[in-house]
A and B are shown apart, each in its own frame.
Chain A
Amino acid sequence: MDIAAIRADFPILSRTINGKHLAYLDNAATSQKPRQVLEAIDRYYRESNANVHRGVHTLASEATVLYEEAHKKASEFLHAHTWREIIFVRNTTEALNLAATALALGHLHPGDEVLITRMDHHSNIIPWVLLKERFGILTRMVETLPDGTLDLDDFKAKLAGRPKVVALAHVSNVTGWIAPLEELIPLAHEAGALVVVDGAQAVPHFPVDVQALDADFYAFSGHKMLAPMGIGVLYGKREILAKLPPFLGGGDMLETVCLEKGACSICLKSLPWKYEAGTANVDGAVGLAAAIDYMAALGWTEINVQEEALFLRAVEGMRRMRHVRLIGPDDLSRRVPCIPFTVEGLSASEVATALDGEGIAIRSGFHCAQPLHERLGLPASARISLAFYNTEGEVDRLLAALEALA
């Protein structure tokens, strides 16, 4: 990998912070954007901006083609059966809320159970918990082990309660641990549950094949994988999406609407449009398509080799520091490059603020995973998360800055 050439694609990486070169190690929060993505968005607004599906003029046609092509790119990216299984939303949170609400409206009944997990981001916990008040739907939580990974025995035991839905993350946004979906999804299906997967932390790091996984729903955000903020994807199996009612009502999701004698009859559009009411985020979709192209041009092998080398370098360096405590499983082979940790005598926000003084950007807090932090007995944690455009030099600067906190 020509890391210098790749970094030249990311304008923000040449910034300085507090007089130091930026070392951006907060990629699990959001990724930086290459100029190819920025230029695609800029080109869209300069040359093709129009509202989609609503006009016969040339710009409207161009914008519609770009928007639909983006669905096809996202479909290929997830290896979906058809692009009609790809719904564009704002982000993973909206995708999971869409799945939860549509399932509550069209599949679940009062008293039904949804299995959620302690390792998940709030985005895949709260939408399900909120269903109780509105629909009488119950949740049960699968516990985690002391290293923050899912307790697979507890998962299997709680499937005996015959949940109707299992909602879980493909990758923990705290520990970076990759859940064994290839084992868990068949078990959930055998128990009669549909499976909703939060893939936000998976798609930036390895290829996902929703058909091979047999996931019923799979959600991710564009902004964590080089695309702009405000565009996300909900994949759903066509036969399930076809049966469920829409989440939002409004323009662009109807074939016909008839209001007569106080009654309203509507005919919904085909998939995915019945789930995409209102003016679409076309520039976000264009940016997402450009991000997918960028990652495809790099290739997963190149991305993985670089990320694994950086991950190992960072973890090995941190393991040598007596004042640093690493959180998460020791086995790095089932983790993406995400490193939660604490520093003796310092709060997580003190660590992050100190590193910011060195131009190093990391995260501190609960990372929207308070139940997991409670289980780990931590008031908060600091988190380093790496991407392929990071360098050994940046990792070494991080290690030196952490060493200085002893």
Chain B
Amino acid sequence: MSWEDYVGHIDDTCGQEKDFILLLKQERKEEAIGLIRGAMTVDRQIGNIMLQGSLRGVEATFFCNGKLILKGLGSRENLERFLGSLFPAS
């Protein structure tokens, strides 16, 4: 098991800040949501739509439909390293 077992697709956002949007894999969505929610420090909740806060020190927004935006990681390499720590290999 690795982060690739949880994350189905990664998109770069368009704009000045190059963030990443992650789509969780349907078959492991509930497990992934559990890991994200367990590690997330929530600063702001907007209804049942999204949670803004941080994940292990990385600015993050988690959406109830299972999408996750990660900010400020800069590069794909940093993103993959971070995901490796969030979804540890087993």
Contact = CB atoms under 8 A, between A and B. Distances in A.
A364 B14 contact: yes
Interface string B59-72: 00101110101010
A98 B38 CA distance: 54
B80 to A, nearest CB: 20
Interface in B31-79: 44, 46-47, 49-50, 52, 61, 63-65, 67, 69, 71
Given A345-B44, A404-B49, A405-B49, A353 B15 contact: no
B47 A404 contact: yes
B10 interface: no
Contacts of A349: 13-15, 19, 21, 69
A347 interface: yes
Nearest to B20: A349
Nearest to A358: B49
A39 to B, nearest CB: 32
A404 B45 CA distance: 11
Interface string A326-368: 0000000000000000000101111001101100000011110
B36 to A, nearest CB: 15
Given A345-B44, A349-B69, A354 B15 contact: no
A357 B15 contact: no
A350 B64 contact: no
B16 interface: yes
A349 B21 CA distance: 9
A405 to B, nearest CB: 6
Contacts of A345: 44
Q: Which of B13, B44, B64, B71 gathers most chain A CB within 10 Å?
A: B13
Contacts of B65: 18, 356-357
Interface residues on A, range: 10 to 19
Nearest to A367: B14
Nearest to B15: A380
A338 B21 CA distance: 25
Contact of B61 (A350, A367, A379, A380): A350
B16 A380 contact: yes
B4 interface: no
A354 B52 CA distance: 12
A347 B67 CA distance: 15
Contacts of A404: 46-47, 49
A29 to B, nearest CB: 11
A379 B19 CA distance: 12
B17 interface: yes
A353 B17 contact: no
Given A345-B44, A347-B19, A405-B46, A353 B14 contact: no
Contacts of B19: 347, 349
Given A356-B65, A357-B65, A350 B50 contact: yes
Contacts of A365: 13-15
A373 B14 CA distance: 12
Given A354-B49, A357-B49, A405-B46, A348 B61 contact: no
B69 A379 contact: no
B16 A379 contact: yes
A18 B13 CA distance: 20
A343 to B, nearest CB: 10
A345 B49 CA distance: 14
Contacts of B44: 345
A353 B21 contact: yes
Interface of B: 13-17, 19, 21, 44, 46-47, 49-50, 52, 61, 63-65, 67, 69, 71
27 contacts: A345-B44, A347-B69, A347-B71, A348-B13, A348-B15, A350-B52, A350-B61, A354-B46, A354-B49, A354-B63, A356-B65, A356-B67, A357-B49, A357-B63, A357-B64, A364-B13, A364-B14, A364-B15, A365-B15, A366-B14, A366-B15, A373-B16, A380-B13, A380-B15, A404-B47, A404-B49, A405-B46
Considering the complex of A and B, which 8 residue pairs feature the smallest CB-CB distances, nearest first?
A365-B14, A380-B15, A379-B16, A349-B13, A357-B65, A365-B15, A354-B49, A18-B65
